[in-house]
Amino acid sequence: MKEIDSVCIYCAMGCKLKYVLENNKIVRVLPVKNDAVSEGRPCIKGLTIHEVIDKGRILNPMLREGKTLREISWERAFVILYRVLSKYDKDEIFFTTSGKIPNEDNYVIQKFVRMVLKSNNVDNCCSRLCH
Q: What is the set of domains in the chain, with CATH numbers?
A: 2-53 (2.20.25.90), 62-127 (no CATH)
Q: Of 81 and 52, which is predicted with more confidence?
A: 81
* Burial tier of 36 (Cβ tally within 10 Å: 0-12, 13-18, 19+): exposed
Q: What is the pTM of this model?
A: 0.58
Average pLDDT of the chain, as a whole number: 87
- Per-residue pLDDT reduced to its tens digit, 100-129: 777 788 889 999 899 988 999 988 775 555
> Is residue 114 packed enough to be buried (19+ CB in 10 Å), middle (13-18) or exposed (0-12)?
middle
pLDDT category of residue 86 using cuts at 50, 70 and 90? confident
Residue 97 burial by CB count (10 A; 0-12/13-18/19+): exposed, middle or buried? buried
Partnered with residue 82 across adjacent β-strands are none
Residue 63, strand partner residues? 70
